[in-house]
Structure 1
Amino acid sequence: MAKVLWAIIAVAACIVMAESLKCKTCSVGLLGSCLQSSEQNCTGSEDRCFTGKAEFDVSGALSFETSGCLASSSCVNSTGTILGVGFTITRTCCSTDLCNAASTTHLPITTALSAALLVSVWASGMF
């Protein structure tokens, strides 16, 4: 009886894994490049893959990107301010496996941080 129960659990787990949506993930992207990407299976209410971009109004050149799994109810754009600087967050969602797989270039962390520093100095008007 225990073997039958384990077999049913194993089959159910395989079905759930086969039906989950697979998305590209990027925790932090900077200047159009993902610092480290991977793939993940979405879980629970996360029924969409997304790519998100936060752009600051101050320069237009500084933006951060992210991607992964998201609930369809969160696939909305938003605006706000941080320390008096306006920003816009744009989320683009899709619902097929790896549909958010934009081509990314992996940068060494020192290169990415140097680029971020250069952009922030440039945006402040020092150059």
Structure 2
Amino acid sequence: MNKFLLGCITLVGLFVVSESLSCYTCPVGIGSFCILGPTTTCSPTQPNCFSGVATFNISNFLTIKSKGCIEKTFCNATTTSSILGASYEVRTSCCDNRDQCNGAGAIQLHLTVALVAALVAIWSTFV
């Protein structure tokens, strides 16, 4: 009886795991470099893989990218906002519900290097 119960629990566990979508993650990426990653399992509240790009209007040179899981309502959307007087546009696009459909993982980069590069790029537009 114990083997039967263990078998049932294992079978249910396999179904639960197989229903979860796996996406590449990149909370903050500059160019082809990514900070953190590489994959995550999406939750039921954020069941879609996405790729996002933030472009600053002061300089099209600086784009910040992100990847991960997102709610369906935020898929294929464009929003605008501003930070420290610089306006930017964020575009998100979702892909079909296949594991890791939001592109290959990017090159890993240390957070300090990425932040310095971003600050230099922003600073150079004001000089």
Q: CA deviation at 1:116?
A: 1.6
Partner Cα separation in structure 1 for residue 7 and residue 70 of structure 2: 31
List aligned pairs for 1:1-127, cutoff 5 A.
Answer: 4-75=4-75, 76-94=77-95, 95-124=97-126, 126=127
> TM-score when scaled to structure 2?
0.83
RMSD of aligned Cα (Å): 2.0
Partner Cα separation in structure 2 for residue 2 and residue 77 of structure 1: 54
Indicate the percent of aligned positions where both proteins have the same amino acid: 34
Q: CA deviation at 1:26?
A: 1.0
Q: CA deviation at 1:33?
A: 1.4
Q: CA deviation at 1:6?
A: 4.5
**AA aligned opposite 1:79:** T
**AA aligned opposite 1:59:** S
Partner Cα separation in structure 1 for residue 65 and residue 47 of structure 2: 20
> TM-score when scaled to structure 1?
0.83
Partner Cα separation in structure 1 for residue 4 and residue 46 of structure 2: 31
**Aligned CA distance change for structure 1 residues 10 and 103 (closer, same or farther; 3 Å):** closer
Partner Cα separation in structure 2 for residue 83 and residue 107 of structure 1: 25
